[in-house]
Amino acid sequence: MKIHWKYFKYVLRHKWYCFKGCWILSRGWLFGIRWLGVFHDWSKFLPSEWILYAQHFYGDGRSLDLAWLKHIHRNKHHWQYWLLREDDGNTKPLDIPDKYLLEMVADWYAAGMAIAQRPNITPWYIQNQDKIVLSKRTRKLLETIIHNFDNRL
């Protein structure tokens, strides 16, 4: 039961910082992003995600591949949600709608704050950008959002 309590506290902390990030990003962008901050990561409370996440992070470290797969297919703020696997085996990145791109940046901010108590979006993005598959339009807008967000913090 202790692992579930620890995970619950982490999820609430993460959701709070994501809401805060969405609130900051909503200024000058889209007002509706605030509601995405309220409902952010709702699926983490479902047993199909909750149990594996809690065990992975606070228990025996077991694999969370299935929980992660379900999570990214339930939540449009993950770039992996917008990858189209074509019949020929190629992967095609689709343009991510602005509101989900903003929520993704807020999610990255929230992860940094909830885990390390610092907003490390730019360093994290620079370190991981080659692994993140995005369309050209999405990448350009993402980098603009990250730059503007860093300036607001």
The model's pLDDT over 33-65, given as tens digits with 9 standing for 90+, comes to: 788 888 999 999 999 999 999 999 998 887 889
pTM of the model: 0.91
Distance (Å, rounded) from C-alpha 94 to C-alpha 62? 32
Nearest C-alpha neighbor of 149 from the set 38, 52, 27, 57: 27
Q: Identify the pLDDT of residue 41.
A: 95
Any long-range contacts for 41-44 (C-beta under 8 Å, 24+ apart)? 41/11, 41/14, 41/15, 41/71, 41/75, 41/107, 43/70, 43/71, 43/74, 43/75, 44/11, 44/71
Domain ranges of the chain: 2-152
Q: Which residue bears the tokens 């610092």? A: 118
